[in-house]
Amino acid sequence: MDTLRSALQPITHNLPQPLANLGRTILGAPCYKHLIIDIDPATHPDCVKLLISKGLSYGIIGASSIVKIPQLLKLLHSQSAEGVSFLSYLLETSAYLISLAYNVRNRFPFSTFGETAFILVQNVVIAALVLQYSGRGAAVAAWVAALAVGGTALFRSDVVDVKALNWLQAGAGVLGVASKVPQVVEIWRRGGTGQLSAFTVLNYLAGSLSRIYTTLQEVNDPLILWGFISGFALNAILALQVLYYWNAPASKMTEARKPRPITAEKVNAGEKQSYAGVAGKSKSPSTRRRG
């Protein structure tokens, strides 16, 4: 360790000032000194845990900026919302909007909730596409307007006070869990995942597990912690469904809509009917003449 320290300290002691300031902002001055300046992680395990937590947090935030892009592209490519539950997105988006306001107004570190903002924006767009491709395009404007009104109220303390916001955050945890239930039911009902993106589901699972760790390290708030724990449980069920139906044939509803193949028996039956019809027409004039 001493050899590594002596090799790295000339670099860490001469970092560019903007980079050093960023490190102090992320880790705090004491941990920055112990880990970066002194390079002494062995005697400061709490700082090592914080460093891991920060690394996971910013990794989650970075991944969240694209986590739902595959789902968005899948909807646009297929022009279909089969297998994607609008109710699930409605509940999840509502929960994220409340949580974003709660975290911002409580001034929690951005690293502990930053992904909420990115996923919220993606959810709004995906839910609008689900409405459009489900034949409910007229409801898109109402969906966006309702979110704008609700978001404005949540961020204003003169409209939603601290006590009310705490109750809403408790409810957001329930909404977050409940948001997975319609999607689980939709997959089970259809017997397949339809246009649901496996990449999005599996990344959600990894993100919710990581958030349990980062919340334990950086945020002393049981409302947020239990929300992530319960969310992880439901995300695990969704992930298991995705794996189960990975190589499954088309969903039951898709199969029901497919035209049935024309068999040889049907062709023969059709030919017989056509022949009988022609024969009947050819006989009718003579029959009338005999009358």
Residue 157 to residue 167: CA distance in whole angstroms: 14
Q: What are the sequence ranges of the domains in the chain?
A: 2-43, 67-253
Give 10-residue mean pLDDT values along the chain (291 residues): 78 86 87 87 88 86 85 89 86 92 90 88 93 90 93 92 90 81 81 75 82 82 81 85 72 49 52 51 48 42
For residues 63 and 193, give the distance between their C-alpha atoms in angstroms, rounded to a whole number. Answer: 23
Q: Say what the pLDDT of residue 152 is.
A: 93
- The pLDDT of residue 262 is 52
pLDDT at 286: 47
Please state, in angstroms and rounded to a whole number, the distance separating the CA atoms of residues 51 and 197: 32
- Provide the residue type at 235 as one letter: N
- Long-range contacts of 105-109, Cβ-Cβ distance < 8 Å, separation of 24 or more: 105/155, 105/157, 105/162, 105/165, 106/221, 108/219, 108/221, 109/57, 109/218, 109/219
167 CB-near residues (< 8 Å, 6+ apart) = none
Q: Token pair of 133, please?
A: 């491709």
3-state secondary structure of 33: helix
Tokens of 12: 């860490």
**The predicted structure's pLDDT at residue 265:** 54
Residues, the chain:
291
How far is the C-alpha of 101 from the C-alpha of 104, rounded, in Å? 5
- pLDDT the model gives residue 268: 55
Radius of gyration of the chain (CA): 29
pTM score over 0.85: no
Q: What angle do CA 242, 247, 252 make, to 5 degrees?
A: 80
Cα 211–chain centre separation = 14
CA gap 1, 107 in Å, rounded: 38
